[in-house]
Structure 1
């Protein structure tokens, strides 16, 4: 193990960014508590690495009790956890009225409440040990708004608000938080289209988004390296945008929002109480 080795808690370690990050951390000598939905998804890692380096566990982030138990057990097994990385989310494509109640609950339970549960379970441990990092992966939906992604963006904006507020709450304890913002990946879950929307521009947009032609430009391996490096950044950025598509989408959305705000300046000020001086 290297002199700068750390202990990490990584969700979604079976594939994508979580998998690449876990492999990178183990290769450089760090210790990792890795979680996945199914134990078999981590079998090859468990075979390749010693038990004192890799602690693998099944975790469903929609189960609040399981989240607390798993985080507590990981901290006990590793002695401490320096960096918590939550890569889990849930993609859902569909117009708001097409989405079922079950899909709504799953989207928010995984993409928003799951992230909140992981952070809340880790906070007592990070606080008691004198600090640490929480890196929460999210999408550009925290800034942009696209049709057919209302629930996905609702979760992303909830994540943005929660972690931005949390960062200020826990800063006195030496706990630093960074939102890792990437372009949204293709949705794994899709609502059943309503015929009414086939007569609107959404029909063509839906075909484009389900064709497989639209994919994030960021490379998972390069992104994993950037996430690893982010844990060493001082001061820790509240947001880290990764991928040129994520950067351009975010920049355009923020510029548009600022322009919309500026034209409302006179209206905004006109509603102040009379004795306010600007």
Structure 2
């Protein structure tokens, strides 16, 4: 019997591509999104795909979608927490409301989905949760601090969750993408009032984005599908080689800084 994956944020980008990659490899897919009218028209022709409304900031919609998915396909064997967006702006420019909204979608949303599906997975003593983080969770960027901090939170939640549910037969994977040619940029939320003093920070971010090597979306999502449902999937899966190189450099810088100041650290023990 085919296994079933539930994907959040399946109306575009990585989530949309993941739908096709899972179907190609024999999975049933529950493609969830806030507005089902935005579903790819090709989903309707696929018997393996069930499109459902889910807003990850609305707990009742999550509960309904998970319940419907189980009723329809018999089980949910994997969840891909993909829904999210980016909040732009210097930290001084971003409003508290924007920060809360970012965390409600990118952090609290995945937690609510996990909490909704875990009783089903615990009962069956099997399943896999894939949380889409970001290489930006390791490397913060100018005018992206709010977004990257939300992905750092996802990283730590994922690692802690893995230790909690591993003994129950449930696998957890943090999928860490780098940049892709998707609508992520157009969906990013700007600040209402930009401060001229931060123009250099915006320029630095624009230069970084322009020189970044984009990943292959189809190959990346295919890689995610290939490790889903396996006996020993990785806890961390980087997709997009540019991001891995970036993070490796960041770790080297971090350890060098720790070592430079270790003589002070050792006085505090």
Both proteins in one fold, TM over 0.5 = yes
**C-alpha displacement at 1:130, in angstroms?**
1.2
Name the structure 1 match of 2:204: 205
Name the structure 1 match of 2:111: 116
For the pair 1:132 / 2:127, whether they are aligned, the reply is: yes
Rounded Cα–Cα distance in structure 2 between residues aligned with 1:176 and 1:266: 40
Matches within 5 A, 1:30-69: 30-42=27-39, 44-50=41-47, 53-69=48-64
Asked if the contact 2:106–2:151 (Cα under 8 Å) also holds between the matched residues in 1, the reply is yes
Q: List alignment gaps of at least 5 residues for structure 1.
A: 273-278
Q: In structure 1, the residue corresponding to 2:39 is in which secondary structure?
A: helix
Larger Rg: 1
Name the structure 2 match of 1:149: 144
Rounded Cα–Cα distance in structure 1 between residues aligned with 2:266 and 2:237: 33
Rounded Cα–Cα distance in structure 1 between residues aligned with 2:13 and 2:230: 23
* Count of aligned residue pairs for this structure pair: 263
**C-alpha displacement at 1:157, in angstroms?**
0.9
Cα RMSD of the aligned pairs, angstroms, is: 2.0
Q: List alignment gaps of at least 5 residues for structure 2.
A: none
Rounded Cα–Cα distance in structure 1 between residues aligned with 2:148 and 2:177: 13
Q: In structure 1, the residue corresponding to 2:176 is in which secondary structure?
A: strand
Rounded Cα–Cα distance in structure 1 between residues aligned with 2:213 and 2:230: 25
**C-alpha displacement at 1:270, in angstroms?**
2.5
**C-alpha displacement at 1:46, in angstroms?**
4.6
Rounded Cα–Cα distance in structure 2 between residues aligned with 1:83 and 1:75: 12
Name the structure 1 match of 2:194: 193
Name the structure 2 match of 1:259: 256
For the pair 1:6 / 2:3, whether they are aligned, the reply is: yes
Rounded Cα–Cα distance in structure 2 between residues aligned with 1:62 and 1:215: 31
Name the structure 1 match of 2:160: 165
Asked if the contact 2:16–2:40 (Cα under 8 Å) also holds between the matched residues in 1, the reply is no
Asked if the contact 1:89–1:138 (Cα under 8 Å) also holds between the matched residues in 2, the reply is no
Q: 1:233 to 1:131 in 2, by over 3 A?
A: closer
Matches within 5 A, 1:240-251: 240-251=237-248
Rounded Cα–Cα distance in structure 1 between residues aligned with 2:244 and 2:40: 36
Q: In structure 2, the residue corresponding to 1:33 is in which secondary structure?
A: strand
Q: 1:241 to 1:43 in 2, by over 3 A?
A: closer
Asked if the contact 2:78–2:128 (Cα under 8 Å) also holds between the matched residues in 1, the reply is yes
Rounded Cα–Cα distance in structure 2 between residues aligned with 1:89 and 1:157: 14
Rounded Cα–Cα distance in structure 1 between residues aligned with 2:39 and 2:112: 22
Name the structure 1 match of 2:175: 180
Rounded Cα–Cα distance in structure 2 between residues aligned with 1:93 and 1:43: 27
